[in-house]
Amino acid sequence: MSTAERKPLLTGGCQCGAVRYALHARPENPHLCHCRMCQKAVGGPFAALAPVRARDLVWTRGRPTTFASSSAAERGFCAVCGTPLTFRYLHKKDWIEVTIGSLDRPAEVAPERHFGSESRLPWLDGLEVLPAKVTGGNDPPEDLKHLRSCQHPDHDTPSGWRPRTEAGPSFPGTAMPTTIRPWRPSDRPAVVVLTAELQEHERALRPSRRPGAEMKEEYVAAMERALAEAKEDGALHVAEAADGRVLGFIACFVREDTLESVPLEVRIEELVVTRAARGRGVGRSLVAAACRFARGRKVARVVMSVLTVNRQAAAAYAALGFRPILATLEKDLAAEPERSP
């Protein structure tokens, strides 16, 4: 019987649910590592790790991104929500360690020893005597009633499971009735406003972005020209509420990537949902329209870009089946002195 056919002994995954795994053997020598690298990697006083043979770990949804923290080891984490998931020595390919906190039932894997004791924080010895309260113990019941969790549950979920990507009482999560249709000239003012709204949202994450009020008109005009030139290879759809308001829009074009064996792709150039409608299925409906456009043009791949600092958007796109394939790296020459050749 293959590993994939066996019933797992333990399961786990990241906080947002984009990456999930199964263990088909119990971990050996679970431990706490206090070394400075592990402290940095998990953002805590130590890393709780559970080693298993690599053959006994199966990724059941997505895969982690890895970072080589040294020439000896690499660490895996979710590229969407950042959850630390694995540690692996590069010279021990047969073994991999999962973070105990990422397990669905972490209480079943108790650490058996300490490592990296030279960096052990001295205040750990006194933790037992600190005052303690249960989660939510200081929160009024009225606040707790409106609380929404965006965390994946502590068990496996069906393949169609989608994480919530908006938290807070302003977003009840119920689907918002919308009509997805091709845009009309009368939609232009709403598209301009939405463009500026998105730009200001991204500007808060990346201050070098131009102000939305400064770029909105020229950006929408450029998009109109691109649609006219693309003809049937371009599409712009809007999401219209029952009362006629435009809640969002998506612009997509057939492009060619000559580095791919199947070069044609549909690129989503813009996807905007007004803040009041996020987390209510509007973006999902717009992406579905882009996928229908791609199928109609007989294109099998849909791609889009997202700011790496916009983790909320990345989580939403991962939930819709998008996976990271390319990273744009930037070097700011203004931030460092010029060196002589």
**Cβ–Cβ under 8 Å, residues 98 and 30:** no
The pLDDT assigned to 205 comes to 87
Identify which has the larger pLDDT, 169 or 123.
Answer: 123
The pLDDT assigned to 85 comes to 97
Lowest-confidence region among 181-185, 190-194, 204-208, 249-253: 204-208
Query: CA angle at residue 13 from 43 to 18, to 5 degrees?
Result: 100
- Are 117 and 186 within one domain? no
- Are 182 and 68 within one domain? no
Instruction: Report yes or no on 304 lying in a domain.
Output: yes
Report the relative pairing of strands 302-304 and 264-273 from DSSP bridges: parallel
Instruction: Report yes or no on 236 lying in a domain.
Output: yes
Instruction: Report yes or no on 330 lying in a domain.
Output: no
Helices 188-205, 212-230: axis angle to 10 degrees equals 120
Band (pLDDT 50/70/90 cuts) for residue 150 is confident
Nearest residue to 47 (alpha-carbon basis) of 105, 123, 116, 112 = 116
Residues in the chain: 341
Contacts of 109 (CB under 8 A, 6+ apart): 10, 26, 27, 30, 50, 100, 103
The helix (run of H) or strand (run of E) holding residue 57 is strand 57-61
Assess whether pLDDT exceeds 90 at residue 49. Answer: yes
Nearest residue to 233 (alpha-carbon basis) of 183, 272, 267, 190 = 267
The pLDDT assigned to 134 comes to 83
Of 129, 161, 191, the residue at which a domain comes to its end is 129
- Are 196 and 305 within one domain? yes
Band (pLDDT 50/70/90 cuts) for residue 88 is very high
- Tell me the C-alpha distance between 261 and 189, whole Å: 40
Assess whether pLDDT exceeds 50 at residue 171. Answer: no
The domain that holds 37 is classified in CATH as 2.170.150.70
- Are 185 and 313 within one domain? yes
Band (pLDDT 50/70/90 cuts) for residue 184 is very high
Identify which has the larger pLDDT, 337 or 289.
Answer: 289
Instruction: Report yes or no on 134 lying in a domain.
Output: no
The domain that holds 228 is classified in CATH as 3.40.630.30
Report the relative pairing of strands 31-33 and 178-182 from DSSP bridges: unpaired
**Cβ–Cβ under 8 Å, residues 280 and 174:** yes
The pLDDT assigned to 162 comes to 59
- Are 28 and 125 within one domain? yes
Amino acid identity of 117?
Answer: S
Average pLDDT score over residue span 36-58: 96
pTM: 0.54
Assess whether pLDDT exceeds 70 at residue 270. Answer: yes
- Residue numbers of the domain that contains 290: 178-319
Count structural domains, the chain. 2
Assess whether pLDDT exceeds 50 at residue 160. Answer: yes
Assess whether pLDDT exceeds 60 at residue 166. Answer: no
pLDDT tens digits, residue range 93-142? 999 999 999 999 999 999 999 999 999 999 999 888 888 888 766 667 76
- Are 125 and 193 within one domain? no
Taking only Cα atoms into account, the Rg of the chain, rounded to an integer number of angstroms, comes to 24
- Are 213 and 285 within one domain? yes
Assess whether pLDDT exceeds 60 at residue 168. Answer: no
Q: Name the residue with tokens 């949804």.
A: 61
pLDDT tens digits, residue range 298-340? 999 999 998 888 877 887 888 788 888 888 888 888 777 777 6
- Are 186 and 283 within one domain? yes
**Cβ–Cβ under 8 Å, residues 276 and 239:** no
The helix (run of H) or strand (run of E) holding residue 67 is strand 65-67
DSSP-assigned states of every residue in 231-257: GGGEEEEEEEETTS-EEEEEEEEEEE-
**Cβ–Cβ under 8 Å, residues 27 and 98:** yes
Band (pLDDT 50/70/90 cuts) for residue 167 is very low
Alpha carbon distance, N-terminus to C-terminus of the chain: 61
Average pLDDT score over residue span 262-272: 94
Assess whether pLDDT exceeds 50 at residue 172. Answer: no
- Are 234 and 302 within one domain? yes
The pLDDT assigned to 63 comes to 87
- Tell me the C-alpha distance between 150 and 171, whole Å: 12
Instruction: Report yes or no on 47 lying in a domain.
Output: yes
Band (pLDDT 50/70/90 cuts) for residue 280 is confident
Report the relative pairing of strands 234-241 and 246-256 from DSSP bridges: antiparallel
- Are 188 and 119 within one domain? no
Band (pLDDT 50/70/90 cuts) for residue 146 is low
Percentage with pLDDT > 90 across the chain: 58
Band (pLDDT 50/70/90 cuts) for residue 169 is very low
The pLDDT assigned to 175 comes to 62
**Cβ–Cβ under 8 Å, residues 12 and 155:** no
Q: What is the mean pLDDT of the chain?
A: 87
